[in-house]
């Protein structure tokens, strides 16, 4: 366990950089500067936000070359926090996208909160651009998929579902029971 903790930053960095991404969406960072420290100087943080339901920070990192063409989008709602960070980014080919890193509440009882948060986030970012990408830990249950895909005017596509089809073994991008970095708790 101690070795895992000591090596965590290096292991996460190596895994993320294996595909040389333009955008890195992080959830559950131990503090607001962690993403910039681990991935700098090649990546620039677009900002962080505390996800109070897990006491971890959300970060959205953009490759330095793209960061000069990126602008953070303010995500606020008067009734509840939006655990997310978003930025509008102009790609080299002239395409404008919005990328949003988010971490929504994880329990089954959080379905209504997830729906409200998704609706608010989707409304804000879709007003900025029609090419929007939500990246992160949405914690959705299967029964929530269709509802969320129809929010904010509809037309949202779950890329994970599109890529994996009906293969039950690939249903989730994270499976706490099989992931090697998961430490079983009393409810696992």
SS3 annotation, the chain: CHHHHHHHHHHHHHHHHCCCCCEEEEEEECCCCHHHHHHCCCEEEEEEEEECCCCEEEEEEEEHHHHCCEEEECCCCCCCCCCEEEEEEECCCCCEEEEEEEECCCCHHHHHHHHHHHHHHHHHHHHHCCCEEEEEECCCCHHHHHHHHCCCCCCCCCHHHHHHCCCHHHCCCCCCCCCCCCCCCCCC
Q: Return the higher-pLDDT residue of 4 and 154.
A: 154
pTM of the model: 0.86
What is the per-residue pLDDT across 129-140, written as a single tens digit (0 to 9) for each? 999 999 999 888
Q: Return the higher-pLDDT residue of 124 and 106.
A: 124
């Amino acid at each position: 366990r101690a070795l895992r903790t000591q090596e965590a930053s290096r292991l996460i960095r190596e895994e993320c950089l294996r595909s040389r991404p333009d955008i890195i969406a992080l959830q559950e960072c131990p503090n607001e500067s962690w993403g910039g420290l681990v991935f700098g100087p090649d990546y620039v943080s677009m900002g962080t936000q505390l996800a109070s339901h897990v006491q971890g920070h959300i970060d959205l990192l953009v490759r330095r070359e793209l960061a000069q063409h990126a602008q953070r989008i303010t995500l606020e709602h008067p009734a509840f926090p939006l655990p997310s960070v978003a930025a509008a980014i102009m790609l080299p080919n002239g395409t404008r996208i919005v990328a949003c890193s988010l971490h929504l509440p994880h329990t089954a009882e959080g379905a209504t909160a997830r729906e409200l948060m998704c609706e608010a986030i989707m409304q804000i970012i879709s007003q900025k651009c029609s090419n929007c990408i939500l990246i992160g830990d949405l914690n959705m249950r299967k029964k929530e998929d269709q509802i969320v895909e129809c929010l904010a005017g509809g037309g949202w596509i779950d890329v994970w579902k599109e890529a994996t089809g009906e293969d039950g073994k690939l249903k989730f991008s994270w499976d706490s029971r099989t992931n090697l970095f998961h430490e079983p708790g009393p409810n696992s």
